[in-house]
Structure 1
């Protein structure tokens, strides 16, 4: 089950969504004062939709566009943040659908080899 875009995310959910370890998100909180998730009892972090969008933007700039931490800090301070580039489209297919197609192709190849 997938959460709504407006739902709060835990640090584990956001880390999984971005494909990053949780300690990276905690590190980003120390380097980017704009990234401030809500903290509840036991210091559990809850990322609001705006925090999720900011974390995605930071990830885009650092890990895909090659900016440094200082470079991203300057962009965020100046509010001159470039729009993220769209991720490549998989023709609108879900991961489940892609796996189903892969299985069908593997079975067809196996039958062809007999």
Structure 2
């Protein structure tokens, strides 16, 4: 049994490859949707988390599959903001959260 560990952060290029969206579209959506705010590292590179990617996929579905305008997609996301956040966290397996917590505790002990 393999215990593949997911990455904590993904680059804009990796998210682009996962979703089939161009990086400029992802950057544009950051300015259009308050729910999409990937962290930036010291070099200014975007660092997307799993919940960020879930938001990208939701926007992508609303715009491309369900044919919402950006304004309409913005309204749908705003209306379901709490539910979307809970759903994104529900996708993370508990053992991964436990492993992450143990890792962070080890890091803090090392400081």
Query: What corresponds to 2:92 in structure 1?
Result: none
Q: Check the 8 A contact 1:5/1:49 in 2, yes or no.
A: no
* 1:8 is aligned to 2:13: no
Greater share of strand: 1
Query: What corresponds to 1:69 in structure 2?
Result: 70
Residues 64 and 76 from structure 1, CA distance in 2 versus in 1: closer, same or farther, beyond 3 angstroms?
same
How well do the aligned residues superpose, as a CA RMSD in angstroms? 2.2
Q: For 1:26-79, what per-residue CA distance to the aligned partner results, in whole angstroms no more than 9, with x for missing partners? A: 000000011010101221000011101111111111111111100010011111
TM-score with structure 2 setting the length: 0.65
Q: Check the 8 A contact 1:7/1:49 in 2, yes or no.
A: yes
Greater share of helix: 2
Aligned residues: 81
Query: What corresponds to 1:38 in structure 2?
Result: 39
Distance 2:6 2:62 in 1: 21
Gaps spanning 5+ residues in structure 2: where? 88-111
Residues 53 and 4 from structure 1, CA distance in 2 versus in 1: closer, same or farther, beyond 3 angstroms?
farther
Gaps spanning 5+ residues in structure 1: where? 84-114
Larger of the two Rg values belongs to structure: 1
